Each structure stands twice: as structure tokens, then as C-alpha cells.
A = this chain, B = another copy of it.
């Protein structure tokens, strides 16, 4: 093939910038949707408010009738399962907080041009499905298998490479008790944009592992080198840094911005007096949150934690603030059971991943 690559195959239209936002970034911000921070109030994120990162297009399916899940490659018994077949396995429901690995990207300078999340790429839902482990046991994964590759039905280009969205787990990771083949979210069939009819849920990990529109699992003898595994979702310091694969969520806390906003700037005005700040905190790998602190004008104090709501779900917290007239800066930060906490400033990442710097909210109290 001697043709010049056409524009769609050219990955060089995006880059690092310190400048304002491109039309492409805004288009992505319009397509993808984040949690409205005031919806942190809900234990389970209401339908339509859970964050969504859609790499390509949402595949259309009017029903699950024509759909199957194929499990092939290095297995003793290749399987082809309909949704009703899957539902005959034992089922579990898990409450899981999912966050996009790119959450916070828009605050990093210089900034990778991609979906420009500020802080809103998070949500919590109850996912119901069959433990992946059960199905894999029936398939009989070969002892020499190196990776299990999970493919979605969604297809497109990233980095100049045409592919179905695909991510891998090692046999050990895939056999964790809590990895689900999920067909229900908050008790209802998956919405199209959340992966109907089936998605993987990998609790504790950033969202890229929880492959949507899942229709194929391939067991292979070498490391999976698909674009979404080795071409992105890596912590990297620069273009030539081989990088470190991204797995578990880093600890983060978010608060509901108090008071009322200006419609354009989103600056907040708060009435003076006793204000109950409320927020959520979570970490990855099923690690409990040990503390949340709130700073008013840089002075850190402990917040009160609500009861835990599940190993993989965010935890509520409250802080009473005696708000005095003037300009104030509010911050919050979480610390997990391993002692990991949130940095005050964003660290640079070449693609804008893993930015769990503390949230800062400027408020005017009157």
C-alpha cells in the first residue's frame, strides 16, 4: 500500500498544550458526560449522571437476542453463551465506584489533548452479573495462558490504529472473586451507553478495565499488545517513556460545591453561618478510606466519615464549616488504608492520567 495515510489514520492531530481548548476537546466534552458534583449526594448515582467515557460510538442493539459472548483460544471448552445462558450461573451484586483514569486531565499543564475532564469522571452503581471466574472454570483456561483479552463490539481508530476496544487481564487478575460479567445496573438492564447487553466490571480498577459491549474473550499465550493495553493507559513522563500500565484507582475525595453558582463561571456564593459540607471518598483495589481532611484557607482538619457502604464503593463524609464573610478556598483530601493520599498539586502525566490532586473550590461568603 503506497497511499498516503488519510487524516483519520494520522494520530498527530493531538498533542500537549498549555493553551486553551481545541474544538476536538470540546466535542469530546459534549459527547462524554460527567457526574454533576451536586449528585455526590446520592449513594447510588442516578441514571444519566454516572460518568461516561465512550471511545468510539455506542453500538446499537434493540435487544440481546442476536448477541452472544464467545470464549475462545487457550481453553478446554470454547463457549458461546447467550444472555439467558449467563443468567443461569450464580449471580452477585456489587456496589462499585468507577472512575475514569483520565479524570483531572484538564488541570494538568501541559495538557494532553483528549477528553478534558476536570473532576467529574466518577459514579457509583450496583452491578449485577455472573462472576467471571465461574464461567472461566467452565471454559477451562489452559495453564500456560498468559492473558485473557476482553473485546467490546465498539470499533474505531485511536493513535492511527483501527481496532475493537480491547483490554486484557492476566489469568490471576481475571479469577479474582469480584470480577463480574454484568448485565444489570441498579437493578435494570444495562443502558446502551453503559454496555448493553453485557460488560465487564473490574472493581477497584480505573474504568478502562471494565470493557463495555463485551462479546468476546480470547485466551492467548503471550502478552496482549492491543492499542488500549500498550499504546495508552500508561503512566508516562514523555513520548519515549515506555511507561507503567495503569491499574487501580488512586485515592480521591470530592465535595459538593456549597452555596449557589454563577451559571457561566461556576463560581460559588455561600451565605455565612454554619455550613455542612458533604462529599465522597474512595480508593482503588478495595482499600478502605481511613480519613478525609478538609482545609479552609489552607488549614486542614479531619472530616467525619459516614459508615462504609461496601468494599468497592465510595464513602460519604461531612464537615461543619463556620463560614465567615469574605473569600475562601476549600479543599479536601482522602487517605486510604495504605496511607496513600492526594497531592496538593497535579503531577504531570504525558496523557493526563491519574491526576488525583486535591479539589479546590473558591467561594465568596456573604
Contacts and interface: CB of A to CB of B under 8 A. Distances in A.
Interface of A: 6-8, 11, 13-14, 19-34, 36, 38-39, 41-42, 46-50, 52, 54-58, 60, 106, 113-114, 116-118, 120, 155-158, 162, 191-194, 257, 260-269, 327, 364
A155 B262 CA distance: 9
A48 B54 CA distance: 13
B48 A261 contact: no
Contacts of A118: 26-27, 30
A120 B7 contact: no
14 contacts: A7-B364, A11-B264, A26-B26, A27-B266, A28-B264, A28-B266, A30-B34, A33-B48, A38-B60, A42-B192, A47-B47, A49-B192, A113-B264, A114-B264
A25 B191 CA distance: 28
Number of identical protomers: 2
Nearest to A267: B8
Given A31-B34, A157-B260, A106 B26 contact: yes
B57 A36 contact: yes
Interface centre among A25, A29, A30, A265 (most CB of B within 10 A): A30
A268 B6 CA distance: 11
Contacts of A25: 21, 26
B48 A193 contact: yes
A193 B36 CA distance: 9
Contact of A265 (B8, B194, B265): B8
A45 to B, nearest CB: 10
Contacts of A116: 26, 30
Given A29-B30, A193-B49, A260 B117 contact: no
A8 B48 contact: no
A24 B264 contact: yes
A125 to B, nearest CB: 12
Nearest to A192: B46
Contact of A29 (B26, B47, B113, B114): B26
A261 B114 contact: no
A298 B193 CA distance: 33
Nearest to A158: B263
A260 B22 CA distance: 22
Contacts of A24: 264-266
A174 to B, nearest CB: 25
A264 to B, nearest CB: 5
A260 B57 CA distance: 7
Contacts of A55: 263
